Amino acid sequence: MAVGSHVGRFARGAAANAAPGGVRRRMQTVRSEALDEAVSVRADFHGGAVTPVAFRRRGREHRVARVNARWVDRAGKHPRFYFSVTDENGDVYQLQLQGGDLLWWLDTVTLEG
């Protein structure tokens, strides 16, 4: 095997692990926790749709940077509205709005690191 071809394969492999600018990326670990906590949520209600804007957990406000997904569970007497949201720190939370009593619950959090 020629030295040049071996170096070429190594360089391609190293490039696959490099972020823009040639900096090597570290593998990030994530952990998910079940929470099942009642939370207060600030939400927009517009055009028949609800969108969480921020929520308060343990005295700290988390601003919603992005709503990743939304879905509805209509299996029970009252619908439950679910939202996967990312806060300003990059942590992903699953919020639930219970349609019968309009209470918000924080189901899970997925954290980096």
Q: What is the pLDDT of residues 61-87, one digit of tens each?
A: 999 999 999 999 999 999 999 999 999
Q: 108 in a domain, yes or no?
A: yes
CA distance 80 to 96: 7
pLDDT at 38: 96
pLDDT for 21 equals 61
39, part of any domain: yes
Write down the pTM of the prediction: 0.73
Mean pLDDT of 86-95: 96
- Domain count for the chain: 1
Nearest residue to 35 (alpha-carbon basis) of 100, 102, 99, 96: 96
Does any domain span residue 22? Answer: no
Residue 99 lies in a domain: yes
Let me know if residue 13 belongs to a domain.
Answer: no
Q: Domain span at residue 104?
A: 29-112
Q: Does a structural domain hold residue 35?
A: yes
